[in-house]
Structure 1
């Protein structure tokens, strides 16, 4: 089986599974559709120093801030370096980022990302020295330290180098300890807003209806396409946390806009099941352009004063594969009909992207067209 045949077989299997499952309503939990107002993470950032690098750190002559932070750290440790001239290549200045999750408590651990900001070649094998992480309010909420796991490899020689991945960035799993908690009392809330990740009036109405049916009353109220207000006082649970745990696993069938997403770099095409195409005629030809150079060398007679001249000769040809002038793509009532109509043209995925663009421009593609 060729690669092309295998791709067609896998693509047909995916479509078959997709159409089989679309016959049954696909329900999604409310917790996967909405964000609960107030239940969110907070971004943290810090500036630190990585030590222990194998000669791949910052050149301190080009990154004086690295020398400054190293001097400050050594002085806090009781080492006097005033007037000293040191140029180590085993240290690097970095920016440390992390997200403080909701309801994080003091003593808990969070993951961090470390990124070089100087001219360091690699952070592989380095150790991050104790770095405070602050939030937007300027307060320190966590302290980071640990050995970096770099995501790439860099090998350099005298005349060549090989870099794979990004060795100047890495992560430290559970590399920061939470030192300060966010002041937020969830148990005192009387109302909470459910923000839909993809605003849609139909989905919001279904979320409202599903919550009220499950709790038996008018506890939820749709405010707009992206917001559902939940009254926590009217719930039957012992606390707001219990009420949220009761409703977040309620299944709702979300509504999605018809959308076609194409990636021109890889030739990938993804269509939603609600995509429709009106009846349209499409013409697509495969052209092959040939340019062949065959220069002719003209030499003078022996013992003459002439010069050798190269006369350019170019042969240009254009081949067009025979095929129908127009192919009719009938109006599709489902995604399977749309795919069948486009596959009938016998074109590649990249050519199909151009065809879909033209169909959209003609007003026959009834879906949002997204190009990445």
Structure 2
């Protein structure tokens, strides 16, 4: 791809993903309440446990450098009635100490199975082909909510010999699908009280008002009340069957939301720039150029004559050059549509890294009608 093509395509992906659906006269699809809010208390819970993976092909932990792996094996053997004398050297290259994590879904009941993620915490080279042995998974309160065990699926491969190594993807982590069995359910406040609370994903007074209005229109005046920009309180039936049906109805109610606040998100590490549909430009003029400084250092050796009695001296010769790329002043017209903003910025012929500085300067000059957020 040529340089000019790269410049013109610096925001082509942005235009294709966002601006294509923002043409004048194209209606925006309405959102549902379930996409902007969640019922308070209906959430997943994080579980974590320490375990061992066995059956590795010599790619496990080096127990001399990972002492807790040997301690874990000793504890496991003691539970099975096998006592290992203290101080016994253990060379366990087929075992790896791992950390097991899982998400306990809302309303999960004992006997149901969930997926678990397994990650090495030692210096194991690979977990491929290993089996996770019984590992209790605890919640934030220290109680055991699930027990994990099973064969690992590692999405990678590797081989090494004679100091050479080939590896595909990551080998020190994997998953066990349906590898944990739920042992305890987490109570939820869904059935408590005569009302439920909807928590918005983002604080916005307009969205809270729209959610309350949609519920009142469908279920009757006064059923929902917007408490603030994040919370909507809703009166719900006392009977659990009726309450579930009530929630199913209000979750699918459509919302006609106003245009969101204009925002531009910048990522200086990757040069990514993302704008939403509300971004607009005021008339402005922009000049862009680049300045490069090149420094070359060349060693120079000064050798004295054989009878001069001097010493050999090594010095450096530095060549410094400065190149400045000219940039003409470009006038950008007022742009109300996102597609026009993309075209105007592409006209600058700047790379995404340059646009990071240009957008900040345009914001400081008052020409960019949007909030800048750096992540």
TM-score class normalised by the smaller sequence:
0.7 to 0.9
Aligned CA distance change for structure 1 residues 62 and 313 (closer, same or farther; 3 Å): closer
Distance apart, 1:60 and its partner CA: 1.7
Aligned mates of 1:322, 1:182 — CA distance in 2 = 65
Matches within 5 A, 1:252-267: 252-255=255-258, 256-267=260-271
Hey, what's the Cα distance between the residues in 1 that align with 2:15 and 2:78? 67
Greater relative CO (CA pairs within 8 A, separation 6+) = 2
The runs of 5 or more residues in structure 1 that have no matched partner are none
TM-score normalised per structure 1: 0.86
Stretch deviating more after TM superposition (60-69 or 50-59): 60-69
The corresponding residue for 2:353 is 350
Per-residue displacement from partner, 1:227-272 (whole Å, max 9, x unpaired)?
100100399x952111000111112134532110122333221111
Equivalent position of 1:171 in the other structure: 175
Give the Cα–Cα distance (whole angstroms) in 2 for the partners of residues 294 and 140 of structure 1: 66
Among candidates 210, 214, 228, match of residue 214 of structure 2: 210
Conservation of the 8 A alpha-carbon contact between 1:49 and 1:129: yes
Q: Paired residue for 2:107, among 103, 113, 121?
A: 103
After TM superposition, the structure 1 = structure 2 runs for residues 2-21 of structure 1, keeping only pairs within 5 Å, are: 4=6, 12-14=15-17, 16-20=19-23
Report how many aligned residue pairs link the two structures: 369
User: CA 1:234/1:69 → structure 2, altered by over 3 Å: closer, same or farther?
Assistant: closer
SS in 1 for 2:96: strand
Task: Identify which of 195, 205, 210 aligns with 1:201.
Answer: 205
Specify the alignment match of 2:43 in structure 1. 40
**What is the Cα deviation at residue 38 of structure 1?**
1.4
1:69 pairs, out of 69, 72, 77, with 72
Please provide the CA RMSD for this pair.
3.1
Match runs of 1:138-287 below 5 Å: 138-184=142-188, 186-233=190-237, 239-255=242-258, 256-287=260-291
Q: Identify the residue that residue 369 of structure 1 maps to in structure 2.
A: 372
Q: Counterpart of 2:218 in 1: which secondary structure?
A: helix
Is 2:332 aligned against 1:329?
yes
Shift of 1:313: 5.8
Separation in 1, partners of 2:307, 2:288? 58
CA offsets per residue over residues 194-226 of structure 1, 9 Å max, x none?
101111000111111111112233211100001
TM-superposition CA deviations, 1:93-143 (whole Å, max 9, x none) = 111111110110111111111122222222121111011111122221111
Work out which of the residue numbers 122, 126, 136 in structure 1 matches 2:130.
126
Q: 1:120 to 1:287 in 2, by over 3 A?
A: same
Of 31-40 and 83-92, the range deviating more from structure 2: 83-92
CA distance in 1, matches of 2:160, 2:243: 58
Distance 1:310 1:65 in 2: 53
Instruction: Tell me if the contact between 2:10 and 2:346 (Cα under 8 Å) persists in the aligned partners.
Output: no
SS class of match (1:218)? coil
> 5+ unaligned residues in a row in structure 2: which ranges?
none
Higher mean C-alpha displacement, 341-350 vs 242-251: 341-350
Alpha-carbon distance between aligned partners in 1 of 2:191 and 2:157, rounded to the nearest angstrom: 48
| 2:299–2:316 CA contact under 8 A, matched in 1 | yes
Change (3 A) 1:88 1:203: same
Q: TM-score, normalised by structure 2?
A: 0.86
2: distance between equivalents of 1:363 and 1:292? 41
Aligned-pair CA distance for 1:294: 7.6
Structure 1 window deviating more from structure 2 (92-101 vs 180-189): it is 180-189
How far has the Cα of 1:82 moved from its partner? 3.1
